[in-house]
Structure 1
Amino acid sequence: MRCWWGLRTVVMCACLALLWAGCVGCAQDGHRGWRGERIVASQSFGEGGATIQVDFAAGDLDLSQADVVSWIHASAHSVAVFYGRFPVARARVVIEPIAGDSDSIHGTTWGGVGGFPAVTRVRLGQHVTKDALKDDWVMTHEFVHTALPDLPDDQHWMEEGLATYVEPIARAGTGRLTEERVWAEFLHEMHNGEPERGDRGLNETQTWGRTYWGGAMFCLMADVSIRRETNDRKGLKDALRAVVASGGGIDKDWPLSRVLQIGDRATGTSVLTDMYAKWSERPVPVDLVALWKELGVSAGPNNGVVFDAKAPLAAVRQSISASR
């Protein structure tokens, strides 16, 4: 189970998972959904070789169902383009309206529920706008979760860090986000993943910053390292696509070592395995200032960025956030 809001709600998520399991039977008849709520409409669409079912629980939304399905489809398309296919063959999305709410978009994803390899529950504010959906990251983040096997609790940082890293890149890949916005987010947020005093490595330091941005920093450094070693012929995307091609979706329980070994074979390196050996059990600080300089990324006006096309790793930066 993957929850976008972090480890402070793991206990809550576990309880909700039990509630979900208790109502799976009633959900299968097409009339009941999350915690037995009535399903008032259901639609399906195909994307990247998968069938995705969208169920609407009873409740009011200012948005039309078509607007919501279009948003889900755009998110699924971004993930399918990044991975070369949608990560699982069938997925279900349950939309639960939040009465009177203006801006909430909360998502949680489970593997192997009710006959679906992946099920995502989205709590959507009644008054959320079409523009808000256009700029949303949550649905794409949740769909990225479907592309990684379920991992032990102490490796939750890999699940959330990977989704944090891939989500903006995937959206940029289908024109939903600019390259500038991808790197602006990384430039202004990646420092949240740096180890602080008392850190014991990613497996043992389950704070919000280390879980989401520490995991994302691992992915960024792995991506850059793979591209350095292969002269930019391969990147983290190749490793992740290999995991999906091997059947490694969220409905599987694999050790992380298997995931990393598949990724390393796909890139012809040992970057992922070697990095995990170092980062998992002890703090590994990253000189982000030097990294941004090498990649040719610096702060610009209005929390934006300025690119330096002559930077040593400018081509690597462009490859990471390439449109295809």
Structure 2
Amino acid sequence: MSPSRPGFPLVALAALCWALCSCVPSAGVRPLPSREEPRALRYHVTYVRAPQHALEVGVLLGGEGAPRDFLFTQPGGVDRVLAFGEDGSERELPVRSDGGVLVPPRTRSVRYRYPLEASPRGRHAGFFTGMGEGDAWHVAGRAWLVRPRTVTPELRAELVVDGVEALLPWEPDARGVYRLRGDDLVNSGFHGFGGRRCTVRLPGGEVEVAVLGRMSLMDDAALCAWLEQSAREVLTVRRSFPYPRVTVRLVAVPGSEEPVPFGMVLWSSPPSISLLVGQDAAPASFTRDWVAVHELLHLAHPPILPRVAWLSEGLATYYTELARARSGRQTPERAWMELVAGFARARRAVGSRTMHDVVTRGDSYLGTYWTGALVALHLDVALRRATGNTRCLDDVLERLAESGPVATFDDFGAAVDAIAGRPLFWKVLWRHLDRPALAAQAPLLEALGVESSPDGVRLGDGHDNPLRDSLMAPR
């Protein structure tokens, strides 16, 4: 998720995750046509335009032994489903408040309708539950896609979308069928329906983009060129793009002049990213945007599970400034000014609390993001000191990615120590955890020759000037 500059609507965004809407299945629906016994769950999704834009979903179950206990991961969008028995019977089933629905034995299929325009409450609340206009809609899979409550590694599903061009995290086969594993139903990512398309091709991968909604001052070519620049900045950190294919949805926000009010990456397989873009934003404002590259930089390392927010968000926050300087989009002085200003905002937010207290309680997003960014800076400098400026934090991310599709906190620490050639990770981290958050900033910046000045920062003389300069240098 993108960290905040001043004015970030934290409370509003916290409410996004569970914005509610209601849905009633369409009248007169019929069972899915009979066919040979399927070996997997089969989802047939039809995009409908009237009486409102919605997804009409039919699920053909897998015969004997098929799941019966289903769940909407983010409840509230559907309040009932229709179940059709093998004998042709039809039964209406309520969806419980936790999103669960239990189908009777010998159920052959279920159907329900998910409305995309349910007018959720709160600024940008529809980011998860449905937002858009005309034939261009954005929604999180966890809101509309029912799945078995218990998912086994062997579970398989097939999904087809009719009536609109969709941009889902997964790539369909030549017949337009998405062939999914059980985990894809649980971590289903962001979905786009309709809109326009472009593709950004990079060394090592490509980004498929859906533009959802109308822009006043930016055409699609300019939007995709801006996103390509942000994606290429990931290559200032990694040797090649981290995934062969990822998807990005650009969702126009009416009445907004801010280039990117909000963005988020969800760890579907492969990851999916969605960015809100201001419908009335001026083209020049996109050159100053930091949100897109921040979200794309989350891809620079595998997901760290269980999630450690200060580490994943701290890495992305730190590298957001380095990557923009390495690409030439901002000067090193500007990058240091952004880092120092972020540290200062975080110190004001958390006061004298220790880093351990801040990241454990998790009640300050500024504290979480920027203490993490300071630890990332400290690790980067310590690695360069330990290796004569021949290895750095970039190498840790490369090593971590080579180890597998997911990583743990211990894996990250082990990668730091391996690149350093000696124990280093905990030695650095303990200098932060039990001290007031961000207290280690002053001596670290002094050694790097980064000095506060009336105009922001001044790059003066410090013991580690060569390391400072290499941090921002092109890869």
TM-score computed with the length of structure 1 as normaliser:
0.85
Following superposition, the deviation at residue 95 of structure 1 comes to 0.8
- Quickly say closer, same or farther: Cα 1:61–1:110, change in 2 above 3 A: farther
Structure-2 change in CA distance of 1:317 and 1:284 (3 Å)? same
The share of aligned pairs that are identical, in percent, is 23
The yes-or-no answer on 1:145 pairing with 2:298 is yes
Which residue is equivalent to 1:312?
463
Cα displacement (A) at 1:241: 2.1
2:370 aligned to which of 194, 210, 213: 213
Report the secondary structure of 1:45's partner residue.
Answer: strand
Give the distance between the partners of 1:199 and 1:219, measured in 2 at CA. Answer: 17
Deviation at 1:85, TM superposition (A): 1.1
TM-fit CA distance, 1:151: 3.6
1:191-202 alignment, distance < 5 Å: 191-194=344-347, 196-199=351-354, 201=356
Pick one of 212, 217, 241 that aligns with 1:62: 217
Q: Alpha-carbon deviation of 1:292?
A: 2.2
1:174 positional shift? 1.4
Stretch deviating more after TM superposition (257-266 or 124-133)? 257-266
Is 2:234 the partner of 1:75?
A: no
2:412 to 259, 269, 278: 259
Q: Does 1:103 align with 2:258?
A: yes
Question: 1:220: how far off?
Answer: 0.9
- Give distance in 2, aligned partners of 1:160 and 1:143: 12
- Structure 2 letter corresponding to 1:307: L
CA distance in 2, matches of 1:149, 1:100: 36
Unaligned runs of 5+ in 2: 19-73, 75-126, 130-138, 146-158, 169-189
8 Å CA contact retained: 2:448, 2:462:
yes
Aligned 1:1-324 pairs, distance under 5 A: 2-5=1-4, 9-10=13-14, 12-13=16-17, 15=74, 20-21=140-141, 22=143, 31-32=165-166, 38-105=193-260, 106-112=262-268, 116-151=269-304, 155-194=308-347, 196-199=351-354, 201=356, 203-206=359-362, 207-248=364-405, 252=406, 254-276=407-429, 279=432, 286-303=439-456, 305-308=457-460, 310-324=461-475
Structure 1 CA distance, aligned partners of 2:286 and 2:474? 21
| Distance in 2, Cα, partners of 1:26 & 1:269 | 52
Greater alpha carbon shift after TM alignment, 69-78 vs 149-158: 149-158
Query: Contact (CA 8 Å) 1:4, 1:107: kept in 2 or not?
Result: no
Distance change >3 Å, CA 279–CA 27, structure 1 → 2: farther
Distance across 2 between alignment mates of 1:318 and 1:36: 41
- 1:74-125 per-position Cα deviation (integer Å, ceiling 9, x unaligned): 011110232111122211110110112111511111122xxx5121111111
CA RMSD of aligned residues (A): 2.9
TM-score by length of structure 2 reads 0.60
Q: Given residue 204 of structure 1, which amino acid in structure 2 is its aligned partner?
A: T
Separation in 2, partners of 1:151, 1:233 = 26
Deviation at 1:191, TM superposition (A): 3.2
Mapped partners of 1:119, 1:272: distance in 2: 30
Query: Larger Rg: 1 or 2?
Result: 2
What amino acid sits opposite 2:228 in the alignment? H
Residue type of the alignment partner of 1:228:
R
- Structure showing the higher strand proportion among its residues: 2
